[in-house]
Structure 1
Amino acid sequence: MTILDTEHGTQPPGSTCIGVDVGGTFTDAILSDGTTVWRAKAPSTPGDLGAGVLDACERVAERAGTTLDALLPSVARFGLGTTAVTNAIASRTGRRLGLVTTQGFEDLVPMARAMRTHVDGWLTTPDSLVDRERIRGVRERVDRTGTVLTALDPADVVAEVQWLVDHHQIEGLTVSFLWSCVNDAHESAAVAAVRERFPDLPLTSGAELLPVVKEFERTQFALLNAYTGGALDGVDTLAAELAARGLRVSPLLVHSGGGSISVAEGRNVPATMAESGPAAGVIAAQAICAATGVSNAVTGDVGGTSFDVSFISDGVASRRSTGELMGIWTALPMIDINSIGTGGGSIGWVDSLNILRVGPRSAGANPGPACYGRGGSEPTVTDALVVLGYIDPAQFLGGTMTLDSDAAMAACETLAGQLGMSAVEAAWGIWEVAKSSMTRALRARFAEQGVDQREFSLITMGGCGALSSAEIAHELGLRGVVVPELASVLSAFGAATSDVRRERSRAVSVLLPDGSDVLAQTAKELADEVRADLAADEVPDEDVTIGLIADVRFFRQHYELQIPWDGGLDEDGQAALVKRFTSEYVSRYGSGAVSTGAPVELVTLRAYGLGATVRASLAQYDDGPGGVPEPSGERLIHLTRGSEPTSVPTVVGDTLQPGHRLTGPAVIDAADTTIWIPETFTATVDSYRNLHLEAAK
Structure 2
Amino acid sequence: MATKETGGMIVLGVDVGGTFTDLILADLEKQELTIHKTSSTPANPAIGVVNGLTAICEKAGIRASDINSLFHGTTVGTNAMLEHDGAVTGMITNEGFRDILHIGRHQRPQHYSIMQDLPWQNRPLIRRRYRHTVAGRLDAAGQELIPLDEDALRKAARTLAAEGVEAVLVGFLFSYVNPMHERRAAEILRNEMPDVFVTTSADVAPQFREFERFTTGAMSAFIGPKVRRYITQLQDELSLQGLKGELHVMTSSGGVATPKMIAEKPASTLLSGLVAGVRGGAWVGSHIGANRLITLDIGGTSADIGIVLDGRLTEADARSASIAGFPVMLPMIDIHTIGAGGGSIAYVDRGGAFRVGPESAGADPGPAAYGQGGDRPTVTDANLVLGRLAPQNFLGGDMTLDTGAARRVITQLAGELGRTPEETAEGALTVLNSNMANAIRSRTVQKGIDPREFTLSGFGGAGPLHAAEVAGMLGVRRVLIPPHPGITSALGLLTADLEYHALRTAFSVKGNVDHPRLTGLFQDMETELNDIFEQDGVPHAKRRMLREGDLRYVGQGYELKIDFPDGPLDHSALEQVWQDFHDRHRAEYGHAFEASPIEIVTVKVRGLGEVDKLGTPPLATAAGSAEPVGQGRCVFRVNDTLETFQTPYFDRASLPTGQSLTGPAILLQTDSTTVVPPGWNYVVDKFANVLMTREEAQDADQS
Which residue in 1 is equivalent to 2:133?
Answer: 137
Q: 1:18 aligns with which of 12, 33, 56?
A: 12
1:256-284 CA distance string (max 9 Å, x none) = 11111122322222211111112112222
Q: Secondary structure at the match of 1:444?
A: helix
| 2:573 is equivalent to residue 580 of structure 1 | no
| 2:402 is equivalent to residue 404 of structure 1 | yes
Deviates more, 1:137-146 or 1:91-100: 137-146
Q: Distance in 2 between matches of 1:121 and 1:368?
A: 35
Q: Secondary structure at the match of 1:333?
A: coil
Partner AA of 1:587 in structure 2: A
Partner AA of 1:527 in structure 2: E
Q: Secondary structure at the match of 2:444?
A: helix
Deviation at 1:305, TM superposition (A): 2.7
| 2:105 is equivalent to residue 104 of structure 1 | no
Deviation at 1:366, TM superposition (A): 4.2
Q: Distance in 2 between matches of 1:333 and 1:137?
A: 29
Q: 2:310 aligns with which of 300, 311, 314?
A: 314
Which residue in 1 is equivalent to 2:342?
Answer: 344
Deviation at 1:496, TM superposition (A): 2.0
Partner AA of 1:676 in structure 2: V
Which residue in 1 is equivalent to 2:667?
Answer: 668
Q: Distance in 2 between matches of 1:606 and 1:377?
A: 53
Q: Distance in 1 between matches of 2:281 and 2:642?
A: 37
Q: Distance in 2 between matches of 1:426 and 1:100?
A: 56
Partner AA of 1:552 in structure 2: L
Partner AA of 1:550 in structure 2: G
Q: Distance in 2 between matches of 1:112 and 1:404?
A: 50
Partner AA of 1:125 in structure 2: L
1:668-689 CA distance string (max 9 Å, x none) = 1123111111112111221111
Deviates more, 1:437-446 or 1:649-658: 649-658
Q: Distance in 1 between matches of 2:273 and 2:424?
A: 31
CA contact (8 A) 2:367 2:378 kept: yes
Q: Distance in 2 between matches of 1:17 and 1:182?
A: 41
Q: 2:294 aligns with which of 282, 290, 298?
A: 298
Partner AA of 1:77 in structure 2: S
Deviation at 1:117, TM superposition (A): 7.1
Q: Distance in 2 between matches of 1:255 and 1:374?
A: 36
Which residue in 1 is equivalent to 2:450?
Answer: 452
CA contact (8 A) 2:89 2:130 kept: yes
Deviation at 1:187, TM superposition (A): 2.0
Partner AA of 1:331 in structure 2: M
| 2:632 is equivalent to residue 635 of structure 1 | yes
1:175-204 CA distance string (max 9 Å, x none) = 111221012222223222322322222211
Deviation at 1:224, TM superposition (A): 0.6
Deviation at 1:618, TM superposition (A): 4.0
Q: After superposition, where does 1:652-691 map in structure 2 within 5 Å?
A: 652-691=651-690
Structure-2-length-normalised TM-score: 0.90
| 2:210 is equivalent to residue 218 of structure 1 | no
Q: Distance in 1 between matches of 2:554 and 2:654?
A: 58
Partner AA of 1:283 in structure 2: R
Q: Distance in 2 between matches of 1:139 and 1:415?
A: 63
Q: Secondary structure at the match of 1:95?
A: coil
Partner AA of 1:328 in structure 2: F
Q: After superposition, where does 1:489-500 map in structure 2 within 5 Å?
A: 489-500=487-498
Deviation at 1:623, TM superposition (A): 8.6
Which residue in 2 is equivalent to 1:186?
Answer: 181
CA contact (8 A) 2:54 2:64 kept: no
Which residue in 1 is equivalent to 2:461?
Answer: 463
Q: Distance in 2 between matches of 1:335 and 1:16?
A: 28
1:76-116 CA distance string (max 9 Å, x none) = 22111111111111111101112222333333222343444
| 2:279 is equivalent to residue 280 of structure 1 | no
Q: Distance in 1 between matches of 2:174 and 2:405?
A: 58
Q: Secondary structure at the match of 1:145?
A: coil
1:517-562 CA distance string (max 9 Å, x none) = 1221111111111112222223223221121121122222122122
Partner AA of 2:137 in structure 1: R
CA contact (8 A) 2:645 2:664 kept: no
| 2:379 is equivalent to residue 388 of structure 1 | no
Which residue in 2 is equivalent to 1:5?
Answer: none
Q: 1:202 aligns with which of 187, 194, 197?
A: 197
Partner AA of 1:272 in structure 2: S
Gaps of 5+ in 2: 1-5, 697-703
Which residue in 2 is equivalent to 1:9?
Answer: none
Q: Distance in 2 between matches of 1:489 and 1:349?
A: 30
- Judged with a 3 Å threshold, the aligned counterparts in structure 2 of structure 1 residues 61 and 407 are, in CA distance, closer, same or farther, namely farther
| 2:32 is equivalent to residue 39 of structure 1 | no
Q: Number of residues paired by the alignment?
A: 677
CA contact (8 A) 2:279 2:492 kept: yes
Q: Distance in 2 between matches of 1:132 and 1:416?
A: 50
Q: Distance in 1 between matches of 2:565 and 2:281?
A: 24
Deviation at 1:368, TM superposition (A): 3.8
Partner AA of 2:553 in structure 1: F
Deviates more, 1:150-159 or 1:256-265: 150-159
- Judged with a 3 Å threshold, the aligned counterparts in structure 2 of structure 1 residues 112 and 411 are, in CA distance, closer, same or farther, namely farther
1:622-667 CA distance string (max 9 Å, x none) = 69779x8222221222324995753212211011232022211111
CA contact (8 A) 1:18 1:77 kept: yes
Q: After superposition, where does 1:516-665 map in structure 2 within 5 Å?
A: 516-568=515-567, 569-591=569-591, 594-621=592-619, 629-640=626-637, 643=642, 645-665=644-664
Q: Secondary structure at the match of 2:194?
A: coil
Partner AA of 1:15 in structure 2: M
- Judged with a 3 Å threshold, the aligned counterparts in structure 2 of structure 1 residues 264 and 427 are, in CA distance, closer, same or farther, namely farther
Q: After superposition, where does 1:125-164 map in structure 2 within 5 Å?
A: 125-126=118-119, 127-164=123-160
Q: After superposition, where does 1:210-249 map in structure 2 within 5 Å?
A: 210-232=205-227, 233-249=229-245
- Judged with a 3 Å threshold, the aligned counterparts in structure 2 of structure 1 residues 446 and 247 are, in CA distance, closer, same or farther, namely same
Which residue in 2 is equivalent to 1:482?
Answer: 480
Q: Secondary structure at the match of 1:675?
A: strand
Q: Secondary structure at the match of 2:342?
A: coil
Partner AA of 2:180 in structure 1: A
Q: Percent identity?
A: 34
Deviates more, 1:527-536 or 1:407-416: 407-416
Q: After superposition, where does 1:407-426 map in structure 2 within 5 Å?
A: 407-412=405-410, 424-426=422-424
Which residue in 1 is equivalent to 2:164?
Answer: 169
Partner AA of 2:515 in structure 1: S
Q: Secondary structure at the match of 1:619?
A: coil
1:37-85 CA distance string (max 9 Å, x none) = 2222223222121233234344444543x3xxx4312112211111111
Q: Secondary structure at the match of 1:517?
A: helix
- Judged with a 3 Å threshold, the aligned counterparts in structure 2 of structure 1 residues 429 and 53 are, in CA distance, closer, same or farther, namely farther
Q: Distance in 2 between matches of 1:356 and 1:545?
A: 52
Q: Distance in 1 between matches of 2:13 and 2:260?
A: 19
Deviation at 1:376, TM superposition (A): 4.2
1:121-150 CA distance string (max 9 Å, x none) = 952222321223333333333333223344
Q: Distance in 2 between matches of 1:294 and 1:62?
A: 36
Q: Secondary structure at the match of 2:507?
A: strand
The alignment yields a C-alpha RMSD, in angstroms, of 2.7
- Judged with a 3 Å threshold, the aligned counterparts in structure 2 of structure 1 residues 115 and 348 are, in CA distance, closer, same or farther, namely farther
Q: Distance in 1 between matches of 2:155 and 2:508?
A: 38
- Judged with a 3 Å threshold, the aligned counterparts in structure 2 of structure 1 residues 111 and 600 are, in CA distance, closer, same or farther, namely same
CA contact (8 A) 2:75 2:270 kept: yes
Structure-1-length-normalised TM-score: 0.90
Deviation at 1:595, TM superposition (A): 2.2
CA contact (8 A) 1:656 1:689 kept: no
1:273-301 CA distance string (max 9 Å, x none) = 11111211222223223211112112111
Q: Secondary structure at the match of 1:572?
A: helix
Partner AA of 1:87 in structure 2: N
| 2:439 is equivalent to residue 438 of structure 1 | no
Q: Secondary structure at the match of 1:528?
A: helix
| 2:70 is equivalent to residue 81 of structure 1 | no
Deviates more, 1:106-115 or 1:675-684: 106-115
